[in-house]
Each structure stands twice: as structure tokens, then as C-alpha cells.
């Protein structure tokens, strides 16, 4: 992707990753997790990142969230460089990360209260989002009484309630059973259609990516680069058996398969090298 | 919370009373068989307890005066341990530098038996409340500080990240995430500290009390070989410690971590 293209695209760009690089550790223990990630997420777009496991896709999302800082390159949200975590982004965690001492409503209104909204108003707003996400009647329940799917509904409502510019989702349905996962994907699309929030979504599942995304960014094995970007220009709700759906899925799988093999080969050759003796 | 049915209450009472009753039966048996020379009969200890509860010429029953002195000391010593131990533990949990600084010191001081401090305290402050309260403080402080620090460090990182993402300041993070998040461990620390406080109290009173206190009562009874009084004193200590744990830490736990489902009720 040339720089001219990304400037042209920045008219409606919500998020821009510019030659992002991330290393962990120093000296001998240094690990290059991300070599060079460069792409743009458009406003209102549902963008999904897929990649082989351990490729650094979650690391990239953490960089966007501001939990970690890139070693080189920059990430811009609405043209402003990301310096740390902040309420212009909403984050949905794989393990929900709900506050066990707060009720559903308390969790959802927490962000609003932190940001100084009047308690009554925060409550009203939270109730609205609890309703949108389909949890009416559970306002005063504590998280431990909820199922995994319901917990993640709270997680999504909490992230949406304070109206961030972008929703970051880190394998949000990864710990749910297959049935619940399917239901939650549909629910997410329903809510997304309602709010039209820009979404950056990380998953290892190509099926899920193809079902959800406007665009799928495929990452290489570690150290990650952008392997390719696949547009999924299909109407929603999508059918898993539709030819066009399957075509898009194959395209993504094709890109990914190479990387999965490459990641595997790299791992095994590294193992062989360490078997042969100490590296010099 | 569902209200308890009468039959459940009876069950609970039985479960609570049965082991105690068995203990008293065994005690009676051991005393009857004269297996331990000085062991008094339960009934005699009971009578002594009643006698000690009778008002004396001064007005206050002797036992209540001893109990009052002890409760006063435990109250102050435990409160101090909590007031210092919880913040120190929180600081250690939050700040790595504070932890690096304090951890070795506390690790060295913790294994010292509380009573080993008492001779030094005696030189410093002599017999009396100050020395005993200081011993209670030392008895409770470590478990509170350690457990609190561990609790803060054990908080799920995602809970902290979520708060920062929502725009939390350091103070908000502290008061609304770290504090409630470490509650289970804080309560464990407090619960242990209640026990340690009473142990420290009784030991310190034996060494440093001037005239009053349950520990003093038990120790002084030795001079008259009054095993009845010793046992009466021990029973009061047990009951007081139990009640303190149950009616101080218990309700706190019910209102916080049990309601949140962090621990099983």
C-alpha cells in the first residue's frame, strides 16, 4: 500500500496504522512481534484482523488500545496519535473483564461515571444500552449469575455506552460455546447496524471474520506484516452456505494457509536448530 | 436473600452445638477419670464463671472488668493494625518500588513471635496499656498488610486496563477498582488478624498487664492454683474472639464479597 493511497484514504479514515513495529524485551530476549503493520480502518467500517495463532494480532489491538506502545511507527485515531488508553476507544475483552462487585447496570454506567457524567444521567444512558444489547431485566444482576454470552453482552454494552469513536474487540466470543458464539455474532451485527460504530475486531476464525467483516486484514506469521486485505462486499445477514460467502472465505483461507504453514515450518526449524546445539 | 426456614435454623443450631457438646462430654469424661490431675469439672468452671459475673462491692463484676480492659486494648490495637496495615498493603500492591523497599523488611520482621517484642516494649513503656496495645498492633499488622498487598497484585490486569480505557484516573482506579478488587484478601487478612490480636493480647497481658485483663486473670490464677479461674478465663477469651470475628468481619464479608459472588456464601 503506497503512502499516496493512505493519504487519499484519510478523508474518511478513522484509524491509521503507519509502519507499526513492536518488539518485546531487550538484548538476547528480544522478540520481534510486529515487523510492519500498515493499514487504514474507514469510518463506520467493520474491520476484522485474522492471522495464525501467536502472530501478534492481539498485540496490535493492545497498541491501538494504548496498553502498549509501538517500538516504531504510529497509530492515529481521527488523525490524533495514540499515546495511551482513553475513552475515545472502547475495548471488549475475551474474558469479559467485568467488575464482579458491580451489577450489570453498574458495569455499564461505570465508564460514564468515570468521565464525570451525572449519576442519574449515567444510569439512564446505561439502561438504554442494556436494553439495546438485550439484557433488560438483568440490570441489577451481578456478573457471576450470568452466562458467558450474557457477560459479553455486558462487556459490549459497557464499551458502547460512553460512545467511543471505535470499538476494539479482542476475540470477544472466543471463550463461548459454538451456539452462543453464532447468536452473539448475529447480535453484534444487529447492534452494529444500529450504532454504526467503527469496529476493529481480532479473531483467528476465518468463518467468523467472513461472516462479520466489511474488510478482512490477514496478517503473516510472526513477526507480523499485512499479508493481504480482502473486501467482503456481501449483504448481511450472510449465509454460511452462500457461494459468494464461501468464495470470500476461500480467498482469506488461501492467504492464511500459507502463513500457518510458514509459522509451523519456522517453529520446527527453530526446534531443530536448538537440537543441533547452542546457537552462535 | 431467602429467609431461613425454622427447620433450617434448627439444623444450623445442631451443627453448631454438636461438636461443642461432644467436647464438653469428653472433658467431663477426662475429668471424671482423673486423667489430667489439675483438670476441673465443666460444672465447676461454669460455677466459677457465674461467680465471676456477680457484681462485687465496687459494682462492676470482676470478669466484666477484665473483659472490658482486654476489649479496650484489642479494639485499639486491632484498629491501629487495620488503619496502618491496609494502606501499607495497598501501597505495596500498587507500587513496585514501595513493594521492593518494604517486602524484605516485612519478611524479616514477620516471623518474629509477637511476644518477643514485649520485653523491648516493656523497657520502652513499662507495664500497661501502651505496651499491650503495641503488641496487638504487631500481631495483626503483618497479616493485614501482606494479604492486602497480595490482593491488589492478584487483580486481573484486564480489570485495570478496562478502567484506563474508560478514562479512569489513578485515583479512580485505586478507589473503584483496586480497593474493591482486593477486598477478599483484605478480609482474609482482617480475619487472621483478629485471631493474632487475641493471641498477642493474652500473651502480652501475662507479661505486661497491671491488674486487669483476661490474660492477666488467667496468669494470676496460677498463683492460687485456681484452674477453675484459668479455664473460665480461657472460655471468655474464646467466645470474645469468636464473636469479634463473626460480628466484625462476617457482616463486612456478607455485604461485599459474598454479594458479588467472589466467594461462596
pLDDT in tens, B167-216: 999 999 998 999 899 998 999 999 999 999 999 998 999 988 778 999 99
Reported confidence tier of residue B264, pLDDT bands at 50, 70, 90: low
Q: Note whether residue B265 is domain-resident.
A: no
Shortest Cα distance from B170 to chain A (angstroms)? 11
Cβ neighbours around A26 below 10 Å, total: 7
**Closest listed residue to residue B211, CA positions, set B41, B44, B70, B61:** B70
DSSP state of A28: G
| B197 in the same domain as B117 | yes
Q: Note whether residue B48 is domain-resident.
A: yes
**CA dihedral sign, ordered B225, B229, B232, B236:** negative
Q: Look up the ipTM and state it.
A: 0.88
Look at residue A1 and tell me whether its pLDDT is greater than 60: no
pLDDT in tens, B63-92: 889 999 999 999 999 999 999 999 999 999
pLDDT at site A85: 96
Task: Answer for the pair A193, A225: CB distance below 8 angstroms, yes or no.
Answer: no
Judge: B260–A101 Cβ closer than 8 Å, yes or no.
Answer: yes
Instruction: Show the domain range for B210.
Output: 41-258
pLDDT in tens, A188-213: 999 999 999 999 999 999 999 999 99
* Average pLDDT, integer, range B226-251: 90
| B85 in the same domain as B5 | no
Q: Tell me what the pLDDT averaged over chain A comes to.
A: 90
First-to-last C-alpha distance (Å) of chain B: 11
Look at residue A8 and tell me whether its pLDDT is greater than 60: no
| B163 in the same domain as B72 | yes
Q: Note whether residue B263 is domain-resident.
A: no
| B203 in the same domain as B77 | yes
* Average pLDDT, integer, range B17-40: 90
Residues 177-196 of chain B with CB under 8 A from chain A are 177, 180-181, 183
Share of residues in chain B with pLDDT > 70 (%): 97
B173 interfacial to chain A (CB closer than 8 Å): no
| B254 in the same domain as B187 | yes
B168 interfacial to chain A (CB closer than 8 Å): yes
| B112 in the same domain as B24 | no
pLDDT in tens, A169-185: 999 999 999 999 999 99
Number of domains in chain B: 2
Residues of A whose CB is below 8 A from B164? 66-67, 84-86
| B81 in the same domain as B24 | no
* Average pLDDT, integer, range A49-75: 94
Reported confidence tier of residue A6, pLDDT bands at 50, 70, 90: very low
Q: Note whether residue B121 is domain-resident.
A: yes
**CA dihedral sign, ordered A263, A269, A271, A273:** negative
* Average pLDDT, integer, range A239-245: 91
* Rounded Cα distance, A210 and A237, in Å: 11
A67 interfacial to chain B (CB closer than 8 Å): yes
Reported confidence tier of residue A259, pLDDT bands at 50, 70, 90: confident
| B131 in the same domain as B17 | no
| B109 in the same domain as B14 | no
Look at residue A3 and tell me whether its pLDDT is greater than 60: no
Spell out the alpha helix ranges (H) of A10-137.
Answer: 57-65, 104-114, 119-132
Look at residue A4 and tell me whether its pLDDT is greater than 60: no
Q: Tell me what the pLDDT averaged over chain B comes to.
A: 89
pLDDT in tens, A108-147: 999 999 999 999 999 999 999 999 999 999 999 999 999 9
Share of residues in chain A with pLDDT > 70 (%): 92
pLDDT at site B71: 94
Higher-pLDDT residue of B54 and B77 is B77
Query: Which distant-in-sequence residues (6+ apart) come within 8 Å of B21 by Cβ?
Result: none
Q: Note whether residue A39 is domain-resident.
A: no
pLDDT at site A53: 83
Look at residue A229 and tell me whether its pLDDT is greater than 90: yes
Q: Note whether residue B150 is domain-resident.
A: yes
Number of domains in chain A: 1
pLDDT at site A165: 96
Judge: B166–A87 Cβ closer than 8 Å, yes or no.
Answer: yes
What is the pTM (predicted TM-score) of this model? 0.80
The shortest CB-CB distance from A95 to any of B158, B176, B260 is to B158
Peptide bond into A223 cis (omega under 30): yes
Return the CATH number at B156: 1.10.3720.10
B156 interfacial to chain A (CB closer than 8 Å): yes
The shortest CB-CB distance from A144 to any of B167, B256, B261 is to B261
| B107 in the same domain as B35 | no
Q: CB contacts < 8 Å between A and B, how many?
A: 73
A91 interfacial to chain B (CB closer than 8 Å): yes
Q: Note whether residue A137 is domain-resident.
A: no
The shortest CB-CB distance from B165 to any of A85, A95, A145 is to A85
pLDDT at site A66: 97
Peptide bond into B214 cis (omega under 30): no
Look at residue A279 and tell me whether its pLDDT is greater than 60: no
**Cα-flanking dihedrals φ and ψ of residue A15, to 5°?**
-130, 130
pLDDT at site A9: 46
**H helix or E strand, kind and range, residue B227:** helix B227-244
Share of residues in chain A with pLDDT > 90 (%): 80
Task: Answer for the pair A110, A99: CB distance below 8 angstroms, yes or no.
Answer: yes
Reported confidence tier of residue B4, pLDDT bands at 50, 70, 90: low
Higher-pLDDT residue of B37 and B23 is B23
* Rounded Cα distance, A134 and A200, in Å: 22
Return the CATH number at A173: 3.40.50.300
Look at residue B26 and tell me whether its pLDDT is greater than 90: yes
Residue B56, CA distances (Å) to B52, B59, B240 in order: 9, 5, 22
Residue pointed to by grid coordinates 452445638: B17
Reported confidence tier of residue A249, pLDDT bands at 50, 70, 90: very high
Look at residue A105 and tell me whether its pLDDT is greater than 60: yes
| B6 in the same domain as B124 | no
* Rounded Cα distance, B129 and B141, in Å: 18
Instruction: Show the domain range for A267.
Output: 46-69+164-276
The dihedral formed by the CA atoms of B137, B142, B148 and B153, expressed in degrees to the nearest 10: 160
Higher-pLDDT residue of B59 and A86 is A86
Amino acid at each position: 500500500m503506497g503512502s499516496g493511497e493512505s493519504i487519499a484514504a484519510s478523508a474518511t479514515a478513522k484509524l491509521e496504522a503507519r509502519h507499526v513495529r513492536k518488539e518485546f524485551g531487550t538484548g538476547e530476549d528480544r522478540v520481534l512481534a510486529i515487523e510492519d503493520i500498515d493499514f487504514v480502518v474507514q469510518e463506520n467500517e467493520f474491520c476484522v484482523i485474522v492471522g495464525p495463532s501467536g502472530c501478534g494480532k492481539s498485540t496490535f489491538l493492545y497498541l491501538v488500545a494504548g496498553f502498549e506502545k509501538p517500538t516504531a511507527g504510529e497509530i492515529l485515531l481521527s488523525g490524533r496519535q495514540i499515546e495511551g488508553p482513553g475513552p475515545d476507544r472502547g475495548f471488549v475483552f475475551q474474558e469479559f473483564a467485568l467488575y464482579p462487585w458491580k451489577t450489570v447496570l453498574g458495569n455499564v454506567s461505570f465508564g460514564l461515571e468515570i468521565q464525570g457524567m451525572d449519576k442519574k444521567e449515567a444510569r439512564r444512558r446505561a439502561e438504554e444500552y442494556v436494553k439495546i444489547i438485550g439484557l433488560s431485566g438483568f440490570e441489577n444482576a451481578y456478573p457471576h449469575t450470568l452466562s458467558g454470552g450474557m457477560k459479553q453482552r455486558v462487556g459490549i454494552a459497557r464499551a458502547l455506552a460512553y460512545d467511543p469513536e471505535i470499538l476494539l474487540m479482542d476475540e470477544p466470543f472466543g471463550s463461548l460455546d459454538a451456539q452462543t458464539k453464532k447468536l452473539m455474532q448475529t447480535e453484534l451485527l444487529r447492534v452494529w447496524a444500529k450504532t454504526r460504530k467503527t469496529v476493529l475486531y481480532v479473531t483467528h476464525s476465518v468463518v467468523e471474520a467472513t461472516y462479520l467483516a466489511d474488510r478482512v486484514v490477514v496478517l503473516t506469521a510472526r513477526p507480523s506484516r499485512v499479508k493481504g486485505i480482502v473486501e467482503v462486499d456481501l449483504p448481511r445477514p450472510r449465509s454460511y452456505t452462500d457461494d459468494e460467502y464461501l468464495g470470500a472465505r476461500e480467498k482469506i483461507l488461501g492467504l492464511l494457509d500459507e502463513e500457518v504453514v510458514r509459522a509451523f515450518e519456522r517453529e520446527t526449524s527453530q526446534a531443530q536448530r536448538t537440537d543441533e546445539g547452542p546457537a552462535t | 436473600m431467602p429467609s431461613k426456614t425454622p427447620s433450617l435454623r434448627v439444623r444450623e443450631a445442631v451443627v453448631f452445638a454438636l461438636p461443642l457438646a461432644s467436647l464438653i462430654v469428653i472433658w467431663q469424661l477426662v475429668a471424671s477419670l482423673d486423667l489430667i490431675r489439675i483438670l476441673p469439672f465443666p460444672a465447676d468452671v461454669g460455677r466459677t464463671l457465674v461467680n465471676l459475673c456477680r457484681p462485687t462491692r465496687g459494682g462492676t463484676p470482676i470478669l466484666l472488668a477484665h473483659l472490658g480492659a482486654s476489649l479496650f486494648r484489642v479494639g485499639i490495637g486491632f484498629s491501629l493494625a487495620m488503619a496502618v496495615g491496609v494502606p501499607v498493603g495497598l501501597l505495596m500492591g500498587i507500587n513496585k518500588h514501595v513493594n521492593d523497599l518494604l517486602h524484605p523488611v516485612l519478611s524479616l520482621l514477620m516471623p518474629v513471635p509477637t511476644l518477643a517484642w514485649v520485653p523491648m516494649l516493656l523497657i520502652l513503656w513499662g507495664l500497661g496499656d501502651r505496651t499491650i496495645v503495641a503488641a496487638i498492633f504487631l500481631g495483626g499488622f503483618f497479616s493485614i498488610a501482606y494479604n492486602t498487598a497480595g490482593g491488589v497484585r492478584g487483580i486481573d490486569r484486564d480489570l485495570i486496563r478496562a478502567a484506563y480505557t474508560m478514562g479512569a484516573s489513578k485515583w479512580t482506579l485505586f478507589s473503584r477498582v483496586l480497593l474493591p478488587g482486593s477486598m477478599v484478601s483484605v478480609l482474609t487478612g482482617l480475619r487472621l488478624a483478629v485471631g493474632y490480636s487475641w493471641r498477642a493480647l493474652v500473651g502480652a497481658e501475662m507479661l505486661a498487664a497491671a491488674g486487669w485483663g483476661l490474660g492477666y486473670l488467667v496468669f494470676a490464677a496460677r498463683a492460687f492454683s485456681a484452674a477453675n479461674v484459668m479455664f473460665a478465663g480461657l472460655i471468655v477469651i474464646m467466645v470474645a474472639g469468636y464473636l469479634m470475628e463473626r460480628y466484625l468481619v462476617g457482616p463486612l464479608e456478607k455485604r461485599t464479597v459474598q454479594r458479588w459472588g467472589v466467594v461462596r456464601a
